[in-house]
Amino acid sequence: GPGPSRSCAWGEHSKIFCAIVGVNGRTDWVMQAQYEHDGLLPRPLGASPEEDPALYAAASPLPNAHAVNAPMLLVAGADDGQILPVNARAMADSLRAHSRRFDLLFFEDEGHWIEAEDNRMEFIRRAMSTLEACQARR
């Protein structure tokens, strides 16, 4: 597979993407690699952040937000026990600091999965709006 949060990394280094919808994304790989409930990092990278800080700096979406070329919809649930919800807010702050286009959809009543029907509908509406807006700019 493409690896954790790879769409964010591709979106940072490619001009071919019209928009990115990141749901519960690992944007701060250092923080996530140290989180015991992550379930993925650091295994696919082959090293911890302490062992290879340059790898994490190059691969992590958060410190590379300046390179984002496509508008992003960041989606997170406040009760996510796998991907720390702070990832989405931190990425939003970094995108804002670099004057990049983004939208943050933060569900206070969801975990890792968006389960409530109203929330799913809102997610679909916002994702479609993000994609339609980027198509209109082309």
Question: How confident is the model over 48-93, as pLDDT tens digits?
Answer: 999 999 999 988 999 999 999 889 999 999 999 999 999 999 999 9
In this prediction the pTM is 0.85
pLDDT higher at 89 or 16: 89
Question: What is the residue-wise DSSP string for 81-119?
Answer: SSS-THHHHHHHHHHHHTT--EEEEEETT--SS--SHHH
Mean pLDDT of 35-48: 92
How far out from the chain centre does Cα 24 lie? Answer: 6
Three-state DSSP at 102 gives: strand
pLDDT for 75: 97
pLDDT for 124: 97
